Amino acid sequence: MDVKIEQTWKEQLEPEFSKPYFTQLTEAVRHEYSSTPCYPPARLIFNAFNLCPFNKVKVVIIGQDPYHEPGQAHGLSFSVQEGVPFPPSLQNIFREIGDDLNKPIPTSGNLERWAMQGVLLLNATLTVRAHQANSHAMLGWRDFTDAAISALAKGRNHIVYMLWGSYARGKAYMINRSENLVLESVHPSPLSANRGGWFGQHQFSRCNEYLKQCGQEPIDW
């Protein structure tokens, strides 16, 4: 199967493309997109990989599901397209960055600028039906995205993994903490963040300090 995905990721994930689950996943996604509105646009399903090659990854931020309202999702976790109002989780992310690094709230919620610096903004499920959160969660995407995390864990070191919320923290078992930095917290959504454990964690400055210690350029958050 010729999957249109960035070449270094294609090399890493090639074994997945011939597995039965991936064939079934591909057929299910094609059916969904042909029969009902789905997000992100089909050309942007692998956007996280295409903007952040395997050998350039410095930070991994794991989300669960794409945004499911029109014009929001474009293949990057927590990110929205230009001109779209910030969803509550993204508002809290920007607020914490502002407090942590003394930076102003940006005017755009498009996080491609992070991806281009080496931040893999990976949703566990890469597609969704319009207006129906987690509607594609059982199609098989999580096997595929787990394979991507596993490939990074086995093939790369000195990566910062930002695991927000119980779902993302459930991926920690794949990561060698002695060779990487794992930053865990509650999810930035208001339901979790406002109860404590999100604000004041200084994750973004801690991330940059670790990258500098490893001889890498920090992220311009």
User: Which residues are the active-site residues?
Assistant: 65
SS3 for the chain is CCCCCCHHHHHHHHHHHCCHHHHHHHHHHHHHHHHCCEECCHHHCCHHHHHCCHHHCCEEEEECCCCCCCCCCCCCCCCCCCCCCCCHHHHHHHHHHHHHHCCCCCCCCCCHHHHCCCEEEEECCCCEECCECCCCCCCCHHHHHHHHHHHHHHHCCCCEEEEEHHHHHCCHHHCCCCCCEEEEECCCCHHHHCCCCCCCCCHHHHHHHHHHHCCCCCCCC
